[in-house]
Every structure is written in structure tokens, then in C-alpha cells.
A and B are shown apart, each in its own frame.
Chain A
Amino acid sequence: MQYLFYLFAAISVLSGLFVVTARNPVNSVIALIVCFLSIAGHYILLNAQFLAMVQVIVYTGAIMVLFLFVIMLLNLNNSTEPQKTLLTRIAAVVAGGVFLLTLLAATRQGVEIAAANPADASVGLVSHVGMALFKDFLLPFEVSSVLFLSAMVGALMLGKKEKVAA
């Protein structure tokens, strides 16, 4: 089983790298979709079936399509977009690399965390997540409606064309 993990890990890292390096935005989107799918694979490995589903539906299905849509809308699908200077790009890689190294170094000793609950493979199942969501996390669930509402209103407001070009 763990080989699958490393496979998915490799896929997600490689596709992630491709997202960053691809010249054409469309390619980036495709790579990101691959990456998200591999992450969905991880979810399945972790027995988080509900999340895997949502991942596929929401991310790859909705969000990425939205990205693709906007790229098409704004006509950005050419591969000749201007790039940053080499120095900036090196600096970016160095910054990211140092950041990663620091994090890895900090956790090098291993993360000895005692599991809080006895092992239970069923936590990721829809029913369990649902119970948690509507019992313990009812309030956030309700509150998030405000978030959506405002996002919706905002998107509409911004996206709407002005009535008159006064």
C-alpha cells in the first residue's frame, strides 16, 4: 500500500512543479488538475472517502474549470507570457528552498505525536464526517453561508458591467 503513497506523492510533486514551470497557463491548469487528482488519491489512501469525493467534485470539477474558463475568457492561453528576470526567479527558488529546508530541518527529528483517539478507520466515511459536521460543527456550517453570500454578492457586483459609461 505504501508504494501507492509514494507514487501519488511523486505525481503530485511533479505535477506541482509543472504548474509552476509550464509556459502556457492552460498546461498549468491541466497539471494542477493532475496534482489535485493525486491528492484525491492520497485521501483515498487515508480512507477519507468523503474528502476524496469533494476534492474531485469541487476542485477539479468546479474550481479548476472556473480557472480554465477565466483563462479562455481573458484570452490568456498563449505561451509567450512575459517572464520574470532570471535573478528574480532564482531568488524565488532560493526563498522557497530555504523555507522548505527550514521546515524539514525543524521536523527532522520526526514528529512523535501520540494519537488522540484509538485507531478507527471509519472516521473518513461520509456518515462520520456528516455527523461531525452537523453536530459539533453546526455553527460554522451555518456561518459559512454568510461567507458564500458575500462572495456571491461581491462576484456579481464586480463582474457586472456598469450601466452607463458616464
Chain B
Amino acid sequence: MEPVVTAIRQVPLEHYVALSFILFSIGLTGALFRRNTIIILMCLELMFNSVNLLLTAFSAHHSDPGGQVFVFFTMLVAAAEVTVGLAILVMMKRNVDSVDINQLNRLKG
């Protein structure tokens, strides 16, 4: 197992952090960028994944399984959220006949 450890150590932690930040920002930008709510949901998933990556990297760095367990829970929650989200989306499509985020502006003021 030793080579694995060294292999992990070869990539500095900062790079993982940076990568995670970049992915997170891409997701964030996408959420602002698009009108299609489904894409926005996907961007959110991307953000979750960037966090997962970060957690795993830290977990490996600390050699602590807790982080990975957390990632597992994140995935569960993400799955549940997606389920609910898509259900809401479907309901909304039925009512609004659109998944355009800009169409949702009856509640305001």
C-alpha cells in the first residue's frame, strides 16, 4: 500500500482545494448563467461533487475515514434532493408549462 500513499502525497493538498474551488465556482456560475432549471439543478450537483472531492481529499490527507463517510451521506442527501427537486419540477411544469426560471415571478414585492 505504501506506493499509494506516496502517490497521494505527490499531489499537494492545495491543488485539490483549488480544483474543488474551481469546480464549485463553475457550478455556481452555471446556476447563475442558465435559465433552464434542470441545468441549474445539474450545476448544483456539480457543486456538491466538488465538495465531495474536497472532503475526500481531506479525508485522505488526514487518513480519517470520517470524511468519506460524510461524502457518502452527501450523496444520499443529494439523491433525495434530486428526487424531490425533480418531482417539484414536474409538478411545476404541469402548472406553469415551463421550466424557465425567469417565468417564475408571480410572487414578488
Query: Contact residues of A with B, CB < 8 Å?
Result: 1-2, 5, 9, 12-13, 16-17, 19-20, 25, 28-29, 32, 35-36, 39, 42-43, 45-48, 50-51, 54-55, 58-59, 62-63, 66-67, 70-71, 73-74, 76, 81-84, 88-89, 91-93, 95-97, 99-100, 103-104, 107, 110-111, 113, 115-124, 128-129, 131-133, 136-137, 140, 144, 147-148, 151-152, 154-155, 158-159
Contacts and interface: CB of A to CB of B under 8 A. Distances in A.
B3 to A, nearest CB: 8
Contacts of A96: 25-26, 28-29, 32-33
A140 B73 contact: yes
Interface string B49-64: 1001100110111111
B94 to A, nearest CB: 9
Q: Determine the main DSSP class of B at the interface with A.
A: helix
A54 B69 CA distance: 11
A162 B15 CA distance: 51
